Structure 1
């Protein structure tokens, strides 16, 4: 994989202490550098509160200026400013409105961005992934980075980068293949890698 020409805002500033701390607790990182100026990192599986501190340590260890989307309820009181300074962007998934459209418009105005989110949107097991990550990536013309936190091998990494083809079924098949063997803290809570079927799918079946 060729090394990308990093724009100044994507130039990594690794924190050695974070790398050392991860190593001391038995974790390693495997993070090939971004291959595009704008990357949406999807992190799977998301089954435990441990994913958050491990993800932050990996962010500091690699030194990338990763922004991340988090549930608005954690951005409260004194934690609000702190989490935002660590790259957090609060989102209220229950609220109506055009969050995705607003976010995509902001991303389009930027020259560079690495944004991370959990496509499941929750630590609970669902029967599908939420489609927001696809809508953001398409609307903002972002490359996908397939990131993971694997408790079986104690590795935080990125399996690959991919450009969406426009064929959701084909793209989801590639994503499913990439995440084979990755194990969350609570494996039974990992949601299957598939999108919610269209509301009228059952009616259209022969």
Structure 2
């Protein structure tokens, strides 16, 4: 697989080595015609998920971004690393709407993929946070189903879901896809 033009050489080589070392492979990639999207990451059962997911996106050439507390990006020790990995700082001290802020980010850019973990935790969570859905609706962007399947050691992107306005029906379609994927800790996965 040739190095994507928009992936820094260091991160591409590191990601190739990481996948080789652990026996992982890419199962699928982001469709080339999608330039803006909310990317769900599920099942989210381990801190290792970020490393595998980020490596997969470097290999795909997808400049995925993810939200973190502002303090992580401002930190003089890890701030530069967080930025190079795609961190978008969120100031949680202000009483502002994260959904509105993300919609604004999409409106300001020609290309943007934001990674979200709707479970909001690495523990089993039957109720997902709905923000990803409302960002997708408000910004008129698809929801991409990013996955890590630890059982098969595969990372990839499933189908694009376009919100219909029926949250429960759309969520069931999304969860049905993720029920076929195995997290690092399967008992904490999507049910």
TM-score of Structure 1 vs Structure 2, range by shorter chain? 0.7 to 0.9
Q: Structure 1 residues 61 and 36, CA, compared in 2 at 3 Å: closer, same or farther?
A: closer
Q: Structure 1 residues 11 and 173, CA, compared in 2 at 3 Å: closer, same or farther?
A: farther
Q: Report how many aligned residue pairs link the two structures.
A: 183
Mind listing any 5+ residue stretches in structure 2 that lack a counterpart? none
Equivalent residue in structure 2 for 1:51, among 49, 52, 76:
49
TM-score normalised per structure 1: 0.78
Q: Structure 2: how far apart are the matches of 1:85 and 1:17?
A: 13
Counterpart for residue 108 of structure 1: 107
Mind listing any 5+ residue stretches in structure 1 that lack a counterpart? 1-9, 193-206
Please tell me the root mean square deviation across aligned C-alpha atoms, in Å. 2.3
> Shift of the alpha carbon at 1:91?
3.6
Provide, for residues 151-199 of structure 1, a one-character-per-residue CA deviation record: whole Å limited to 9, x for no partner. Answer: 111111112112111111221121122112211111222354xxxxxxx
TM-score normalised per structure 2: 0.84
The answer to whether the Cα contact below 8 Å between 2:122 and 2:188 also exists between their aligned partners in 1 is yes
Q: Structure 1 residues 50 and 95, CA, compared in 2 at 3 Å: closer, same or farther?
A: farther
Q: Structure 2: how far apart are the matches of 1:39 and 1:152?
A: 27
Equivalent residue in structure 1 for 2:65, among 49, 64, 67:
67
Q: Structure 1 residues 46 and 94, CA, compared in 2 at 3 Å: closer, same or farther?
A: farther
Q: Structure 2: how far apart are the matches of 1:185 and 1:81?
A: 28
